Amino acid sequence: MYAITREVSRNLTECALTFLDRDVIDIERACAQHQSYERCLQELGLQLICLSPEPAMPDSVFVEDTAVVLDEIAVKTRPALDSRRREVNSVASVLSQHRALLSIEEPGTLEGGDVIRIGRILYVGLSGRTNEEGARQLAELVRPRGYEVRTVPVPRCLHLKTAATYVGRNTLLANREWVDTSLFADVKVVAAADGEDEAGNAMQVDGHLLMPAAFPRTRARLEAEGFQVATVDVSELQKAEAGVTCCSILFV
């Protein structure tokens, strides 16, 4: 299994923010945390494809938003912000070596952080970054490959994966205050602990879960359900509205 990552931009302090107030980001610490994140992915068995930093693109470390990768194809997204659209092509260049590429076109907007795959269903968050036209285009692109798209309103956080992530074993980890979990068919829900609002974001890697170290009570809930959980400190990246899923694209 591969993981595409990109080094932290030295201009991360200029990142786009929607739901968080701007806080001081320690760039050296952010870079060190991202390196620890990459090491953790390697320890979990992933082969890294590390892209060079893009100093002029403050949000470019968040590679997940640039593509939706399925077993058969990869879809180039169209981020909502002009400042982020330049991030897509370098990631697509890597993915083109592994998948046939399709694209979301104007006026659609779609970001990978708004897409949760559970089996052959793609749940697409309708957020400030992904619109109905983007979701419609994705549905058209994936339908011939046997996938269905279902939309989920995301009014209270940046992306759908900010609120919820699929963690395997037919289980959704979610902040129920930020997403209506009844819209997800036939899944068990592990709720983020009170006071750990951003704890709905975890990533599944070869039978393990990786999540931010900042949410120990939610981690305990997952472990009580039998999940093996590893944690990584991403506190500086969280100031840029990041989780753990947004810093990589995983594919086989």
Residues annotated catalytic, as ranges = 159, 246
Label residue 170 left, alpha or beta by phi (over 0 means left) and psi (-120 to 50 means alpha). Answer: left
Using CB atoms within 10 A of its CB, is residue 52 exposed (0-12), middle (13-18) or buried (19+)? exposed
Report yes or no: 172 and 165 within 8 Å, Cβ to Cβ: yes
Q: What is the DSSP string of 99-167?
A: SEEEE--TT--B-GGGEEEETTEEEEEESSS--HHHHHHHHHHHGGGT-EEEEEE--SSSSHHHHEEE-
Cα(58)–Cα(53) distance, integer angstroms? 10
* Torsion sign across C-alpha atoms 34, 95, 101, 121: negative
- H/E element, 239: none
Report yes or no: 251 and 202 within 8 Å, Cβ to Cβ: no
Q: How far is CA 177 from the centre of its chain?
A: 19
Report yes or no: 200 and 211 within 8 Å, Cβ to Cβ: no
CA distance to 16, 27, 58, per residue, from 242 (Å): 11, 14, 13
Residue 109 one-letter amino acid: T
